[in-house]
Structure 1
Amino acid sequence: MAEEQLVTFGLGTEEFGVDIMLVQEIIRIPPITRVPKAPDYVEGVINLRGNVIPVVSLRTRFGMERVEESDLSRIIVLQVQNKVFGIRVDAVTEVLRLDTESIEPPPPVALGMDSHFIRGVGKIGERLLILLNLDNIMGGEINHESA
Structure 2
Amino acid sequence: MHESTPTHWDADGNLEVLTFNLDEETFAMEAVLVQEIVDLLPETIVPGASPLVGSVVNFRGKIIPIADLRLAFGMPQAEPTVDSRIVVIEMDIHGEPTAIGIRTDKVHEVATLTRDHAEEPPAVGMRWKRDFVRELVRAQDGIIVLPDLPSIFRSLSAADDHAGAPASTIH
Does the pair score TM above 0.5? yes
* Aligned twin of 1:29: 40
Where do 5+ consecutive residues of structure 1 fail to align? 143-147
* Aligned twin of 1:16: 27
Structure possessing the higher radius of gyration over alpha carbons: 2
1:37 is paired with a residue whose SS is coil
Query: Does the CA contact (< 8 Å) of 2:50 and 2:156 recur in 1?
Result: no
Whichever residue aligns with residue 28 of structure 1, its letter is D
Where do 5+ consecutive residues of structure 2 fail to align? 1-11, 159-171
Whichever residue aligns with residue 3 of structure 1, its letter is N
| Cα distance in 2 for residues equivalent to 1:99 and 1:3 | 5
How many matched pairs? Answer: 142
Give the TM-score of the pair, scaled to structure 2: 0.78
Deviation at 1:135, TM superposition (A): 0.2
Deviation at 1:109, TM superposition (A): 2.9
Deviation at 1:136, TM superposition (A): 2.1
Root mean square deviation of aligned Cα: 1.5
* Aligned twin of 1:100: 115
Query: Does the CA contact (< 8 Å) of 1:33 and 1:45 recur in 2?
Result: yes
Query: Does the CA contact (< 8 Å) of 1:32 and 1:43 recur in 2?
Result: no
Deviation at 1:61, TM superposition (A): 2.4
Q: Say whether residues 1:141 and 2:152 are aligned partners.
A: no
Q: Say whether residues 1:49 and 2:60 are aligned partners.
A: yes
Deviation at 1:126, TM superposition (A): 4.3
Identity percentage of aligned residues: 35
1:137 is paired with a residue whose SS is helix
